Amino acid sequence: MATKRRSFSLDPEEDAELINWLDSKRNASATVREALWAYYRAEQGDGASLDNVLSEVRALSQKIDRMKVVRGDDGPDEDPELAAALDNLGI
């Protein structure tokens, strides 16, 4: 397959962080392609968003709660540090 070349410009002041990031990569072309695909997928709604992730976590939490009811127990004692960390997620 033939390679199509595209070029773009980066401003040394505005884009300094991007320039440093790309300079730190072994393969800048692959890095740019990955970033463009991630942006494209997010724009198309195919990427993971915070809302999607939270929705999936909530659904999983509900499934676990239903499993506890079927088992008839509360499971093992809860780790207080883990519980506090999960509480801070706002789920």
Q: What is the pTM of this model?
A: 0.48
Residue linked to tokens 């198309």: 44
15 falls in which pLDDT band (50, 70, 90)?
very high
Segment 25-66, tens digit of pLDDT: 999 999 999 999 888 887 887 656 777 778 888 888 888 887
**pLDDT at position 87 over 90:** no
75 falls in which pLDDT band (50, 70, 90)?
low
76 falls in which pLDDT band (50, 70, 90)?
low
Residue 66 backbone zone (phi > 0: left; psi -120 to 50: alpha; other: beta)? alpha
pLDDT at 81: 82
Q: Cβ contacts of residue 75 below 8 Å, gap of 6+?
A: 68
pLDDT at 47: 59
Q: How far apart are CA 35 and CA 68, in angstroms?
A: 41
